Each structure stands twice: as C-alpha cells, then as structure tokens.
Amino acid sequence: MTQVLIPTSLPELWSALREQPSAHLYAGGTDLLVKRRAGLLDPAILIHLGRIDALRGVTADDDGLRLGAGCTHRELLEDAQVRAVLPVLTQALQTLGSPPIRAMGTLGGNLCTASPAGDTLPPLYVLDAEVELWSAGGERRLLLRDFILGPGRTALQSGEILAAVRVRRAPHGSVQHFEKVGLRNALACSLVSLAALVQTNPAGRVKHAAFAWGSVGPTVIRVPEVERHLIGQPLSLSVLSEAAVLARRAVAPIDDLRADADYRRQVAGNLLLRLAETGSAPER
C-alpha cells in the first residue's frame, strides 16, 4: 500500500517533507507510474505536487519568462507568451508524448526525470535556462545544465523542490528551431533531437549560435566548437556540413533497442543541415 500526501500549500509541503524525508515527489505521475509498474520504483510514501498553486503559471517580465514547474505540457503549449517568446520550447512540446501525457505531465517532472531524451531539455539548454530550487530554508538558482548531473540525476537536495524555470528572451530576430527524430510521430522516445537558437546579422552571418542535442549522451549535449565554428559564417549547407562533422565527433551516443550509436551520431550531425537558409543539396 502506498501512502500519498497531497499538500495544498508550501507550508504543508515543507512540513510533509520534514516528516517524511524519504518520500518520493511527483506531479503528473507519467514517469512514476511507468517505473512503478515495471518494478523499478516502489515508494512507500508519495508527495503529490499538483495542488500547490505557487508552482503553477507562467509570468513574464522584461527579462523573460518564469515557468512554474507544475505547469503541464499542455498548459505551456497553449500559453500565448510561451509561443511568442519560446517557440523552440513550443515546438518540442508538440512532439512530447501524446495528448493524455501532455495533459498530465509537467515541466518540472520532465526536468527532474533528467533523461537525456527528455523533450523539454534541449530547448531550455540553448536558452540558458535557470532553475529555481526552493526549500523550507529558502531559494537558490542554478543553470539548468548545472542542475542536470546525469541520467536520472539532478542537483536537487533533500528537502528541496524544483519550483520554476526562468528563461531570458532570445535576441530579436533569432531563429529558434527544434527537431526530434522518433520511430513514430507520437508516443515516441527521441532517438536524437536538436534544439537550435541562432542569431544572424543583416548580411546573414551568424552572430550567436547555441545547439543542444538530446539522446546522444548521458545528458543533453552542447558543443561549443560547433557554435564557435558558425560565428561569422552564413548558414549554408557547406558550412553546416562542416559543423555536422564537429557535432558527430562530440556526441557520445549509445546503442539501444531503438537505434544504434552510428545512426544517432550520423543523424545528430545531419540535423544541423535543416538550418540551411536555402535548400541546396547537402554535401557529403
């Protein structure tokens, strides 16, 4: 028998955490229930975070957006501010799971699961997102990429929860792009995914570029040499093909049932070519 605690305020949450420090936290439960059925997890006590209003909602200021960790994927997908400011996240959310999973699953859950295949992670990596971690004792902030430590591992400490994600507005005129490769068009774990944030000058040369790959390493991967390689260059197929070589060198995919490492490595590079301004033939 599992005991489920459902705090409806932060004070209730802190006292529940104090009394049950070994409790397992969850929000939408879309990962928890799968793991539980598979026998990978059988917590005696669960704390449900879905009824705490302070963890919900999207707010905007001049710097950017603050996304409550308790927001469901569907809420974020339907949020006009998220669509306008963070199209790369919207694109990723459209590929996440299925309508029922998007209705239940939350942003905070997707981040705390810390899977390299988590669909919201690559967009938030290229946006240099920060996470707000709250505990009874206060708040601290970390860059998302410092928060995620490895597959299933985060920097969350005991008694601490992920409360929100803060994302700065991308420079005006930036291209935001996300692509996920799965074995089907819904309910698919990504074989490899790419989020991109690219800013060009009026001459079409790259001023700033950020790329993050999912499912090709123990965590989402940024590749600085790819980003550096593009600075000052046009987004042509030949330039992107050179960058693709660097990307393939940097990623560290594994073989699994869904795809082998060679495929993932190849495609991790290929996905850059989608950014070409014009569609001339890819070079090989």
Partner 1 sequence: MTERSARPELGPPQSPMLEIGASVPRADAWAKVIGAEHYAIDHYPLGLLWAGARRAGLAHARLRGVAIEAARALPGVVAVLTAADVPGTNRQGIVHKDQPVLVEDHVRHWGDPVALVLAEDRETLRRALALVEPDLEPLPGVFDIAAALRPDAPTLHPGGNVLLEAEISTGDTASAWDVCAAIVEGTFDLPFQDHGFLETQNGVAQVEPDGILTLTVSTQAPFRDRFEIAHALGLDPLRIRVISPYLGGAFGGKDGATVQCLLALAALHVGGRPVKMVWEREECMIAGYKRHAARLCYRLGALTNGTLHALDCQLYFDTGAYAHLGGEVMELGLEHAGGPYRIAHTRMRGWAVYTNNPIGGAMRGFGVCQASFGFERMLDRLAAALGRDRLDLRRQNALRRGDRNAAGVTLVHSTGLAACLETLSRHPLWLERDRWPDQAPPLKRRGVGVAAVFNAMGYGRGLPDAAIAKIALTPDGRFRVDSAVSDMGQGNASAFAQIAGQILCQRADAIELVQPDTARALPSGSSSAGRTTYSYGNALVRACEALRAKLLHRASLLLMVDEPSGLALLPGRVRHLPTGRDLPLARLAAMLPETDRVSIEQFVMPVSQEVPDTGKAFVIGFPHVLFAYAAHLAYVEIDTLTGKLEVCRYLAVTDGGRVLNPRNFDQQIQGAVAQGIGYALCEELRLQEGRILNPDFARYLLPTSLDVPDIASLAVATVEDTGPFGMKGIGEVGINGPLPAIASAVEAALGRCPSQSPLEPRRLVAEVAAPSASDDAPR
Residue 183 binds partner 1 (CB under 8 A): yes
Under a CB-based contact definition with an 8 Å cutoff, are residues 140 and 106 in contact? Answer: no
Total residues found in the chain within this entry? 284
Identify the residue whose tokens are 């004792």: 137
List the one residue from 46, 58, 188, 243 that touches partner 1 (CB under 8 A): 188
Q: Is 152 left (phi over 0), alpha (psi -120 to 50) or beta?
A: left
Under a CB-based contact definition with an 8 Å cutoff, are residues 172 and 208 in contact? Answer: no
Taking CB under 8 A as the binding criterion, the range among 108-116, 131-139, 185-193, 202-210 that sits at the site for partner 1 is 185-193
For residues 255 and 257, give the distance between their C-alpha atoms in angstroms, rounded to a whole number: 7
Q: Which is nearer to partner 1, 137 or 184 (CB)?
A: 184
For residues 236 and 205, give the distance between their C-alpha atoms in angstroms, rounded to a whole number: 10
Shortest distance, CB of residue 185 to partner 1, whole angstroms?
Answer: 4
Q: Which is nearer to partner 1, 63 or 283 (CB)?
A: 283
Residue 273 DSSP code: G
3-class secondary structure, 200: strand
Shortest distance, CB of residue 93 to partner 1, whole angstroms?
Answer: 15
Q: Which is nearer to partner 1, 43 or 282 (CB)?
A: 282
Shortest distance, CB of residue 268 to partner 1, whole angstroms?
Answer: 10
Shortest distance, CB of residue 2 to partner 1, whole angstroms?
Answer: 13
Residue 42 binds partner 1 (CB under 8 A): no
The count of residues interacting with partner 1 (CB under 8 A) is 28
List the one residue from 4, 84, 186, 254 that touches partner 1 (CB under 8 A): 186
Residue 181 binds partner 1 (CB under 8 A): yes
For residues 237 and 284, give the distance between their C-alpha atoms in angstroms, rounded to a whole number: 10
List Cβ neighbours of 93 (8 Å cut-off, separation of 6 or more): 73, 76, 77, 102, 119, 120
> 237-250 and 261-270 are packed helices; what angle lies between their axes, rounded to 10 degrees?
150
3-class secondary structure, 125: helix
Shortest distance, CB of residue 149 to partner 1, whole angstroms?
Answer: 25
Under a CB-based contact definition with an 8 Å cutoff, are residues 210 and 197 in contact? Answer: yes
List the one residue from 16, 114, 191, 235 that touches partner 1 (CB under 8 A): 191
Considering only residues 78 to 107 of the shown chain, the ones binding partner 1 according to CB under 8 A are: 98
List the one residue from 42, 62, 184, 202 that touches partner 1 (CB under 8 A): 184
Residue 137 binds partner 1 (CB under 8 A): no
For residue 231, which amino acid is it?
I
Residues 22-41, one symbol each (x = binds partner 1 by CB under 8 A, - = not), give ------------x-------
Residue 97 DSSP code: S
Q: Which is nearer to partner 1, 156 or 275 (CB)?
A: 275
Residue 271 binds partner 1 (CB under 8 A): yes
What residue ranges bind partner 1 (CB under 8 A)?
A: 34, 98, 181, 183-189, 191, 257-260, 263, 266-267, 270-271, 273-274, 276, 278-282
